[in-house]
Amino acid sequence: MWIEPMSANLRERVSVIIPARNEEANIARVLRSLAGQKGIREILVVDDQSEDRTPGILAELSSEIPRLRTLHVQSLPEGWMGKTHAAAQGARAATGDWLLFTDADTEHLPGGLAELLGRAEDEHVDLLSVSPGQETPTWWEKSAIPSVYIELSRLFRFEDVSDPKSSVAAANGQYLLVRREVYEASGGHEAVKSEILEDVELARRIKSRGGKLLFLPGARWVRTRMYRSFGEMWRGWSKNLYLLYAGNLRRILEGVASLWLLDVVPVLGIVGACLWLALGHGSVRTAGVALGCVLVGLGRQWTYRRALARLGFDRALGTYQMIGALLVGFLVLNSARAHLATGRVEWKGRHYATKGPR
């Protein structure tokens, strides 16, 4: 019996949407990593008033990547965040049954989209998101980035987000694959246009309407280097962390206290006890303190390295655990200060008013 082969257009069901503002360092990598992925109908880059070489690079790549289309944002309407506006513009122009919103700083590993799209369809998922693998070439990235993501995996457990019976909802805007009809029924990015954490809010809207979420560690499919300078990292996490704690000051203080008491104090206790013993002030009590600190520290190291492996980090990054805990604690507190005291955050050269206590 003759079976007519499925046409290429029927297989190519995904519209990829990339908001891009001043992404000259990243845009070529992400586009080339997507160009070879199966299932893509079109790649829509929304150039959000870039002031660097991003438009020129996109023009150069247009002949290399036939499915690439560039949209240009002329202005940012009042009440919108830059990223939500760019994402909404891309969604309006898209023609695919599935929309993949991804960031310009991501790199998509071979076969990743086909595998994740197949899983979403097989499991009847409406929104699939992954937490990409993180590239950490500098000491401050090795310290802070793993600690942040381990903390986030505690606040938003993958199992809870993916459980229809749980009210917990989350997504990572670096990779957000959503059924077009579900996206539109939820109101899309227009419904979350003023939200700094638009990815989490969109996931909440979809799940609250009965949509099925799937949230996964994603190092095997996608990787990214989020920040290229310490200042950029400081601004980025200061923008987000307060909101990731749901604006709950008590949870923030408990989180910082936990990080510092369990990851910093034991190390300081070991150092202090060893110095005290070295100075000839040895006692059973001092030795007991040192032993207690060692046991707590070893337990935390084991837990930390296990979490690193699950998220796709090298276990050797456990060496940076203490400095990471210190940095993340200060990042969280600075984020609370920005949202509660100054009332504004800055990103990509734009300043946004915060909503204060939530």
Question: Residue 267: what pLDDT?
Answer: 64
The total number of structural domains in the chain stands at 2
Q: Is residue 97 part of a domain?
A: yes
* Interstrand relation of 14-20 and 98-102 (parallel, antiparallel or unpaired): parallel
The whole-angstrom separation of Cα 301 and Cα 307 is: 10
Domain that holds residue 111: 8-228
User: Which amino acid belongs to residue 99?
Assistant: L
Same domain, 36 and 185: yes
Q: Is 7 exposed, middle or buried (0-12, 13-18, 19+ CB in 10 A)?
A: exposed
Which residues are 48's β-sheet partners?
A: 73
Question: Residue 137: what pLDDT?
Answer: 96
Tokens of 23: 């992404």
Q: Is residue 243 part of a domain?
A: no
Same domain, 290 and 217: no
Looking at per-residue confidence, does 149 or 12 come out higher?
A: 149
Question: Residue 294: what pLDDT?
Answer: 66
Same domain, 283 and 200: no
Mean pLDDT of 311-329: 94
The CATH number of the domain holding residue 169 is 3.90.550.10
Whether the Cβ atoms of residue 113 and residue 100 lie closer than 8 Å to each other: yes
Question: Residue 285: what pLDDT?
Answer: 66
Question: Residue 329: what pLDDT?
Answer: 95
Is the pTM for the entire model greater than 0.85? yes
